A and B are shown apart, each in its own frame.
Chain A
């Protein structure tokens, strides 16, 4: 699964730490997500999409 978290996060000028805090996960999880090394649960994906003010289908896609 591919994601555009880094692109949308930098566009909103949010740090990984801030996004992690808002999504309720550790910073390391955001790092692994951005590197494409971890596939999030639906709940986390929705939380991240909400925090990045982006539709989930624009944020995540099947590679």
Chain B
């Protein structure tokens, strides 16, 4: 299978999945979306294996790493600013405080997960067998 065919099928699968997902949620059925999501993931995983061309290479991994770091930094900063604003306004609306707490904990978990994974890869000899 060529990369072009794979991309066309992937777009189709994403559209069909999104449609079924949204319709199932409207009909308040939560079993079908999980099934569809799992099935589409497996389908895409299987089709990806069938592609003979290179889909991702070292440049993509490098860009991915930089993008992930920047995304975490931006998300953290925006989250912290929103958290402080919500805390400051918690006197006007009592619901702001739990939202701010949830946001703070989410950012903490995100940063801790990133740090743990970063430490793991920096300590262990990082070598992707698929690429090397």
- Enumerate chain A interface residues (CB-CB to B < 8 A): 20-21, 24-26, 28-29, 32, 38, 40-41, 43-44
Contact = CB atoms under 8 A, between A and B. Distances in A.
Given A29-B59, A32-B59, A38-B59, A24 B132 contact: no
Interface of B: 53-60, 132
B132 A43 contact: yes
B132 A26 contact: no
Contacts of B58: 25, 29, 40-41, 43-44
A21 B54 CA distance: 8
Sorted nearest first, the 6 A-B pairs with minimum C-beta distance are: A25-B57, A29-B59, A26-B57, A26-B54, A41-B58, A29-B57
A20 B58 CA distance: 12
A38 B58 CA distance: 11
Which residue among B55, B56, B58, B132 has the maximum number of chain A CB atoms within 10 Å of its CB?
Answer: B58
Given A21-B53, A38-B59, 12 more contacts: A24-B54, A25-B58, A26-B55, A26-B56, A26-B59, A26-B60, A29-B57, A29-B59, A32-B59, A40-B58, A43-B58, A44-B58
Contacts of A20: 54
A55 to B, nearest CB: 22
